[in-house]
Amino acid sequence: MELQAVLMAAGGGSRMTDLTYNTPKAMLPVGNKPLIWYPLNLLERVGFEEVIIITTKEVQKMMSMDPKIKVDVKMKLDVVCIQEDGDMGTADALRHIQQKIKTDILVVSCDLITDVALHEVVDLFRAHNATLAMLMSKAHEFTETVPGQKGKKKTAEQRDFVGVDQSGQRLLFMANEADLEDGLSLRKSVIRKHPRMHIRTGLVDAHLYCLKKAVVDFLSENKSISSIRGELLPYLVRKQFSKTANYEKIKDDCEDQTQKKSSTDDEVVISSRDESLLQRAQELSCWNDHRGDMSEAYHGGKLRCYVHIMEQGLCCRVNTLAAYIEANRLAPKLFEEPAVHPSSVISERCQMGSDSIIGALCQVADKTSIKRSTIGNSTTVKEKVKIANSIIMHGVAIEEGCNIQGSVICSNAVIGRGADLKYCLVGSGQWIEPEGGRGYIFWKKMVFFRSHKR
């Protein structure tokens, strides 16, 4: 691969703090695999042999001990740790590893689970010699009831407005609903070159980007930009049609990335007085600077942004509790693996649905029922337990006679005998008293659970 892979895995999971209270987001179990395993597997399947992982020391330590990563991941992992309490954005993180970046890069977030044909994004980047090529997908409609919410409540997020050309690939406009209080306005420079623009909503940024090395160099000189998604991307998209072309800041290295100019003698400087004449000449010219084909000419545009919109398939960002629940339902379908790990001991009198999975070293006793649920590694389920539409993480102990429905039980929790839990979230290492869990609304349960740490 001529691209370097960079995996962002330092995020704290600010929108799912109940899950990340004791476990970093990158190591949350999804389908009994750590969340970071999915983007690592994606990169390895398409041929990457090395990946730079930007993360924290805590995640690095947990990765070194996780059996799925130790056994399954064959790539060389170049782990770069940053301060856990530092206020470092994704663009800051790229700036932090600038010395390691030798080529164009593929940046992916640790919370992405997708079956996208990754070459479609990379080919788009190559074919147009683009500055940026990114992946977006249709917004996913969550189907599961979320603990603490009444009914199947949708996440109230503000929409992105994404403008594309007639091909649906050239990215012309990008803005969030929060930034459009005074209405949506388009620049004349965009309309002149692309008089027909399709504005789309209902799309989600997958946080997977191909970027020119020159963009990383640009970030090193512009330290005011902290976030890739919130600041860098809108800047690049907006600057595509700027009159100044921004040549000095975003260098066009399409001819020879290794050749560096030693002086300014070879540079042609166009004064503002001549710029309108040059632009007019380019618009009337039949010369096509879209190298090697008959596609529409770029007419000297040095900064080009593209987007691959995934219309079908799985593309999920696990950054909320609702997304986490949905990911556990969908992710196991990506890989053909046995529903019950060979090392687990399951009673013959256990009723288990075909849409459930049970991890390694589990023990499930007689007269239990498990439907549409994920049971984590080293979990013990005693007699006469009913589990439905739930996620049980690693090392959980469930005593006899419990009824668990639509709930998330975090690692190392103990559910006492006869407990009845419906649409609850039990924190890591918490203990539910025998026959407890009745008569508490969601937020009271959280206070109650956390006051009984083991």
Within a domain: 333: no
Q: Determine which of 172-181, 266-275, 420-429 has the lowest per-residue pLDDT on average.
A: 266-275
Are 241 and 351 members of one domain? no
Is residue 273 a part of any domain in this protein?
no
Same domain, 366 and 312: no
The verdict on 320 and 430 lying in the same domain is no
Asked, for residue 281, whether it belongs to a domain, the answer is no
Q: Given a cut of 90, is residue 282 above it in pLDDT?
A: no
pLDDT for 388 beyond 90: yes
Whether 113 and 323 have beta carbons less than 8 Å apart is answered as: no
Global pTM value = 0.84
CATH code of the domain in which 412 resides: 2.160.10.10
Pick from 211-215, 249-253, 356-360, 387-391: least confident? 249-253
Q: Does residue 442 register a pLDDT over 60? A: no
pLDDT of residue 397: 97
pLDDT: which is higher, 434 or 277 = 434
361-377 average pLDDT score:
95
Same domain membership, residue 306 and residue 389: no
Q: How far apart are CA 270 and CA 424, in angstroms?
A: 65
- Let me know if 357 is exposed, middle or buried by CB neighbors in 10 A (0-12, 13-18, 19+): buried
Of 89-93, 182-186, 263-267, 426-430, minimum mean pLDDT range:
263-267
| Residue 263 binned pLDDT confidence (cut-offs 50, 70, 90) | very low
Report which of residues 135 and 285 the model is more confident about.
135
- Which structural domain, as residue segments, surrounds residue 82? 4-148+159-180+189-252+301-328
* Of 297 and 258, more confident: 297
The structure tokens 């659970």 sit at 449
Residues 323 and 348 in one domain: no
Between CA 216 and CA 103 the distance in angstroms is 10
- Predicted pLDDT at 354: 86
Rounded CA-CA distance 448/114 in Å is 37
The chain-wide mean pLDDT, for the chain, equals 82
The verdict on residue 15 lying in a domain is yes
pLDDT of residue 216: 94
Domain check: are 126 and 231 in the same one? yes
- Over the range 193-214, which residues count as b (16 or more CB within 10 Å of their CB) and which as e? bbeeeeebeebbbbbbbbbbbb
Do residues 314 and 418 both lie within one domain?
Answer: no
- Beta strands 105-109 and 4-9 are parallel
Residue 448 has pLDDT above 70, yes or no: no
Residue with more model confidence, 102 or 289: 102
Judgement on whether residues 317 and 438 belong to the same structural domain of the protein = no
Contact of 324 with 155, CB cutoff 8 Å:
no
In a domain, 272, yes or no: no
Put the strands of the sheet holding 397-398 in their side by side order.
Answer: 345-346, 363-364, 380-381, 397-398, 414-415, 431-432
Residue 337 lies in a domain: no
Residue 198 resides in a domain: yes
Counted domains in the chain: 2
Same domain, 97 and 136: yes
Lowest-confidence segment of 91-105, 273-287, 338-352, 436-450 by average pLDDT: 436-450
> What single letter denotes the amino acid at residue 82?
I
In a domain, 286, yes or no: no
* Burial class of 430 by CB neighbour count within 10 A (0 to 12, 13 to 18, 19+): buried
Q: What is the pLDDT of residues 21-73, one digit of tens each?
A: 888 999 999 999 999 999 999 999 999 999 999 999 999 999 999 999 999 99
| Residue showing tokens 């439905």 | 388
We report the CATH number of the domain holding residue 195 as 3.90.550.10
Same domain, 436 and 395: yes
Structure confidence at residue 283 (pLDDT): 53
Together in a domain, 322 and 388: no
Residue 28 and residue 164 share a domain: yes
Q: What is the pLDDT of residue 257?
A: 37
